[in-house]
Amino acid sequence: MPELAQASLETKMPAPATERFFVRFTRQQRAMHAVLFTTFLGLAGTGLPLRFSDSIWARGLAGAVGGFGAILSFHKFCALALTVAFLIHVKEIFTRGLYRREKGIFWGATSMVANWKDAKDLFAHMRWFLGLGPKPQFERYAYWEKFDYWAVFWGMIVIGFSGYAMWFAPFFARFLPGWALNAALVIHSEEGLLAILFIFSIHFVNTHLRPDSFPMDMVIFTGVESEKEFEHKRPQEYARMVREGKLDARLGEAPATWYVRFARIVGFTAIFIGVTLLVLTLTAYFD
């Protein structure tokens, strides 16, 4: 695929000095994503051998993680770290939205909450896939990004709650019926499986591997994207910024070369681990 190679070459070329960069994610948001994906990889890597404990690779993977005493401890450690990150995130939303009365948190163009435009965008996007209409103009968060966000949000509540119910079973049994403990494992493993399959295939492709971002969308690591990329990917937000005269306020610095290189190594490692786990899951599932 010579075109594909060409495309990746372009993204690797140093940006011209005149090119402007705009901030999309704050340092805290990027840190949150880093905690999220590292703990998620840890949870997936230690959870999958349990889910498919009778598969041929389960014992080997369990051994690689550090034997059996270690695998559950590691799973619990990642769960705790992710829980802390989740609570910080929820606290942040409420501080910004309710305490500081910041606009656009719960509703509006910049909110993560789905709105009518998302439904229209979804249908328009699908029509465009089939060549039946123009490409929709996306705002700050497109519908698939909101889906990713809420899938993870819901997933963390469901998986987290069922996980803690199993971890502290006698305690949870004070308010839950006994069969709920049976249900906890079914829910935990099925929802975990969904999260793993979704993140390691759909999210990877939607966000990183599709031609517009190939091979990786660096914005979640660097926090900034070039003006050209901004305008191309989220024309409606770009237009709104220009219209409201807020574009300059979002100006950021071009990321340092060493940092981009470092982020790329981390990102590719994460994608490599994720795809490996995806392949293992699929082999066990269709075994």
Which span (106-114, 194-202, 217-225, 255-263) binds another protein, by CB under 8 A?
Answer: 194-202
Cite the DSSP H helix spans in the chain. 2-12, 27-51, 58-65, 67-94, 116-129, 143-167, 169-172, 178-197, 219-222, 227-233, 235-244, 257-285
Helix (H, G, I), strand (E, B) or coil at 138: coil
By the rule CB under 8 A, 134 interacts with another protein = no
Q: Is the dihedral of CA 75, 78, 80, 85 positive or negative?
A: negative
By the rule CB under 8 A, 54 interacts with another protein = yes
* Residue ranges in 198-217 that form contacts with another protein under rule CB under 8 A: 198, 201-202, 205-206, 210-212
* Residue ranges in 99-128 that form contacts with another protein under rule CB under 8 A: 125-126, 128
Structure token pair of residue 87: 């609570």
The CB-of-283 to another protein minimum distance in angstroms stands at: 17
CB-CB contact of 281 with 52 (8 Å): yes
Which span (26-34, 91-99, 180-188, 254-262) binds another protein, by CB under 8 A?
Answer: 180-188
Question: Tokens 């982020």 — which residue?
Answer: 263
Question: What number of chain residues touch another protein (CB under 8 A)?
Answer: 56
* Residue ranges in 69-88 that form contacts with another protein under rule CB under 8 A: 69, 71-72
By the rule CB under 8 A, 15 interacts with another protein = no
Among 194, 254, 260, 273, binds another protein (CB under 8 A): 194
The CB-of-220 to another protein minimum distance in angstroms stands at: 18
CB-CB contact of 226 with 20 (8 Å): yes
The CB-of-68 to another protein minimum distance in angstroms stands at: 3
Q: DSSP for 150-164, please give it.
A: HHHHHHHHHHHHHHH
- What CA–CA distance (Å, rounded) separates 255 from 265? 15
Length of the chain: 287
Question: Looking at this protein, which amino acid is placed at residue 82?
Answer: L
CA angle, 60 then 66 then 72, to 5°: 100
Our CB check for another protein shows the closer of 90 and 282 to be 282
Our CB check for another protein shows the closer of 24 and 51 to be 51
By the rule CB under 8 A, 187 interacts with another protein = yes
- What CA–CA distance (Å, rounded) separates 242 from 165? 50
Q: Which spans of this chain sit near another protein (rule: CB under 8 A)?
A: 2-3, 6-7, 49-51, 53-54, 58-59, 62-63, 67-69, 71-72, 125-126, 128-131, 135, 144, 151, 166, 169-171, 173-174, 176-179, 181-183, 185-187, 190-191, 193-194, 197-198, 201-202, 205-206, 210-212
